[in-house]
Amino acid sequence: MNNYPDFTNYGYQINSELGHNRGGGQVPYLATEINTQNTVVIKQFFFAKTTNKWSDYDSYLREIEILKQLDNSQIPRYLDSFQTPTGFCIIQEYKKAVSLAVSRNWTPQQIKEIAIGVLDILNYLQSQIPPIIHRDLTPENILVEDISSLSLEKREGMKVYLVDFGFARMGGGEVAVSSVVKGTLGFMSPEQMFNRELTLASDIYNLSATLICLLTNTPSTELGNLMDKRGKIEFKSKVLHLSDEFIHWLEKCVEPNYQERFTTVHEALETLIHLKVLRPQ
């Protein structure tokens, strides 16, 4: 006997819980759409039982608005939504993938492939009119195809997905500030942390902070331990096996001053593609 909510009246049968963020007022479920028998993800938001307010409903409408206009195989498609007595649900396409928050022994080369995959997604988002800034690129929100059942030959070019557009913003070259800081502590760029205007370089910072977590085996909750008094992420001493050019790329991506980072995702991507990851023996 489980305590899963009953969504059969809405056309869905919950199979399992995918993980949870009850402190943040949301729980994702793996479910089956009853009419089609397709597997989907239901993200349930609890407004009435947490510190969240019903006014937050508007932010989820914005998330839906953004998801509806996206057409990219690396972003799970928006399928449906409905309101419940205690909250609100968003239904999205299911991808057989696991978040980077799940501990695995990624090689530096695989981490480079993950970075390229996410930068491809960000390049797509920033090509939209107006551009879309995700604002919450953390290990939890980046999924990688489950390769455990694949042969070694088929593990090349693993698929990467980006989820959770709850903090995403649409805007021109710079995105106007909001009254509330949105994002995950430790991964937010300085301009995001201090609620200044965001730029297209803000997501580059978020992503690179995530890559540093993977490369240094630092849990996402402990990323702040790598920051010095100036708020700069210091990680070189933990990645002596990496090439100088790759380390320089990472350092440029997490420069506290956004003007010293790569100007666009395209520039960061084109530079990374040609870099060697490991230090010559």
- Per-residue model confidence as pLDDT tens digits over 58-68: 667 888 999 99
Residue with tokens 């994002």: 183
Cα first-last separation, the chain = 57
What are the tens digits of pLDDT across the range 135-148?
Answer: 888 888 999 986 65
The enclosing H or E element of 79 equals: strand 78-84
- Record the tokens describing residue 269, joined without a space: 């991507």
What does the pLDDT read at residue 253? 95
Could you identify the residue written with the tokens 């370089």?
A: 201
Residue 265: predicted pLDDT: 93
Q: What is the mean pLDDT of residues 13-23?
A: 75
Q: What is the pLDDT of residue 21?
A: 53
Residue 113's closest CA among 258, 186, 205, 214?
Answer: 214
Q: Which long-range contacts (CB under 8 A, 24 or more apart) does 99-106 make?
A: 99/19, 99/139, 99/140, 99/141, 99/142, 99/143, 99/144, 100/139, 100/140, 100/142, 100/143, 100/144, 100/210, 100/214, 101/138, 101/139, 101/140, 101/220, 106/214
DSSP state of 75: S
Q: Residue 122: helix, strand or coil by DSSP?
A: helix
Contact 170, 135 (CB under 8 A): no
- Biggest CA-to-CA distance, the chain: 62
Question: How would residue 222 be classed by pLDDT, with cut points 50, 70 and 90?
Answer: confident
Rounded distance between C-alpha atoms, residue 205 and residue 202, angstroms: 5
Cite the DSSP H helix spans in 105-150.
108-126
Does residue 38 sit in helix, strand or coil? coil
pLDDT above 60: residue 53: no
Mean pLDDT of 165-183: 56
pLDDT score of 252 more than 70: yes
Can you list the domains of the chain with their CATH numbers?
8-93 (3.30.200.20), 97-273 (1.10.510.10)
**In percent, how much of the chain has pLDDT > 70?**
78
- Tens-digit pLDDT profile for residues 270-279: 999 999 999 9
CB 100 within 8 A of CB 214: yes
Report the C-alpha gap between 225 and 199 in whole angstroms.
26
Cβ 124 vs Cβ 142: under 8 Å: no
Residue 110 makes CB contacts below 8 A (sequence gap 6+) with 158
CA distance 129 to 131: 5
In the predicted structure, residue 191 carries a pLDDT above the cut 80: no
